[in-house]
Amino acid sequence: MKMAKSHTRKKSNNLEPKEVRAISNAATDYIKQWTNRELGKIQQERTSPLCIPVKNGYRIGLYSLKVYPNKTCDVTNPTGDFVHRFDTKISAILYTIYTIKNRLFNADEILTCDKEINKCYTDMLSLRNTVEKARQRQDYVTVDTRMPRLEIAESRLNLARDKISKLQRTAKYYKIWE
């Protein structure tokens, strides 16, 4: 019995993996550049910021927002530089919208409040851990010295969160995205 020839056994043009990788990288770079150019053109034509949901976050104008499962959000500017890791997605979106609309005072205020929130939150976690460990060691001098600092960090955190929520409500009231 004679077997049929396999048509899938034809030899292909064997390109080196480095050459294939270089060609595919060049193609993806071209597509990224074209996409950024087109988004820039569309953004210039519109008066309101353009918000596009993507795989792991958003594109607002030429800014990229990457949302993480713990609700934090990284903002990357149009040149690809990291701007800040925001505590909430709303703060990151407001920051980018204010920056696109050239309302830099408001954008800076949001950035400052968010930095204060991040600092106070990490201080609070550190101080809580220190107090807990000191209680386990029965080192009550450390507990007594760290508790006022912990209360100050908590109160500053609450004040910063209140301030940023007021900024968010104000932005919602004025409909800054339009």
98 and 90 in contact (C-beta within 8 Å)? no
Is 16 inside any structural domain?
Answer: no
pLDDT digit string, tens, across residues 31-61: 988 887 887 788 777 777 888 888 888 989 8
50: helix, strand or coil: coil
Residue whose tokens read 């969160």: 161
Q: What is the total count of domains within the chain? A: 1
User: Of the ranges 45-49, 117-121, 141-145, 154-158, which one carries the lowest mean pLDDT score?
Assistant: 45-49
Is 25 inside any structural domain?
Answer: no
97 and 50 in contact (C-beta within 8 Å)? no
Would you say the pTM of this structure is higher than 0.85?
Answer: no
147 alpha-carbon distance from chain centroid? 33
Is 5 inside any structural domain?
Answer: no
88 and 73 in contact (C-beta within 8 Å)? yes
Where in the sequence is the domain holding 89, given as residue range(s)? Answer: 44-174
Alpha helices in 82-139 (DSSP H): 89-100, 104-137
75 and 86 in contact (C-beta within 8 Å)? yes
